[in-house]
Amino acid sequence: MKAVVVYESHWGNTEAVARAIADGLGEGARALTTDEASGDAIAGADLIVAGAPVMAFGLPSDKMRDSLVAEVSKAPRPPDLSHESMRSWLDRLPAGHGRSATFDTRIWWSPGGATGPIDRGLRRAGYMPIDLRNVRPAARRRARPCPAMGSRTRPGRGSRRDGSDAGLTQLLRQRQINALRGQS
């Protein structure tokens, strides 16, 4: 399976999450900036995972990114704006045929997120989101005893009651559990 994790990151938080997701997906998965994720890098991808930070309760626009430069004196270090925005990358994403998943980085109480616009852009290009109905039942269970982890696994705080929150998170958790048990 060819998996690519594409990210927009200003201070390195989203980049760190993207690299962790790529590591969790296994050998061959690559984390790429929006500039690196073009042409051959994403051609034939079976899975594209895309993520960005949340700014002003949504996916950053170019205008929001420009405002970061104006506010640079308030930040501990200058933001990395050397890569194109996720919005621009999604606008030029060529048609494909794989699956997709999305993530964002934000403060917990943020009422908005970046995953909706990213998901819509990936769908427009032909990358359909991972559906939990297609994942093994063990990966869909909400909280169950996990002897390998020494405790109970729990869904994230934002989980929906039906357990259908971030399918990627559940899939990665199941892969980690299987790896600890020595399964594939």
Comparing 87 with 140, which gets the higher pLDDT?
A: 87
Give the domain range for residue 45: 3-129
Q: If you average pLDDT over residues 84-97, what whole number do you get?
A: 93
- Whether the pTM exceeds 0.85: the reply is no
The single-letter code of the amino acid at 32 is: L
Q: How confident is the model at residue 49 (pLDDT cuts 50, 70, 90)?
A: very high
Q: If you average pLDDT over residues 85-105, what whole number do you get?
A: 93
Say whether pLDDT at 140 is over 90.
no
**In this structure, are 47 and 62 located in the same domain?**
yes
**In this structure, are 165 and 177 located in the same domain?**
yes
Q: What is the pLDDT of residues 112-139, one digit of tens each?
A: 889 999 999 999 999 999 875 655 555 5
- Position 152 scores a pLDDT of 41
d(CA 164, CA 142): 9
Residue 4, helix vs strand vs coil: strand
Residues 6+ away with beta carbon under 8 Å from 146 = 152, 153, 177
Comparing 104 with 154, which gets the higher pLDDT?
A: 104
**Spatial CA neighbour of 49 closest among 8, 9, 21:** 21
CATH number at 120 reads 3.40.50.360
**Alpha-carbon torsion (127, 165, 112, 18), positive or negative:** negative
8 in Cβ contact with 60 (< 8 Å): yes
**In this structure, are 118 and 150 located in the same domain?**
no
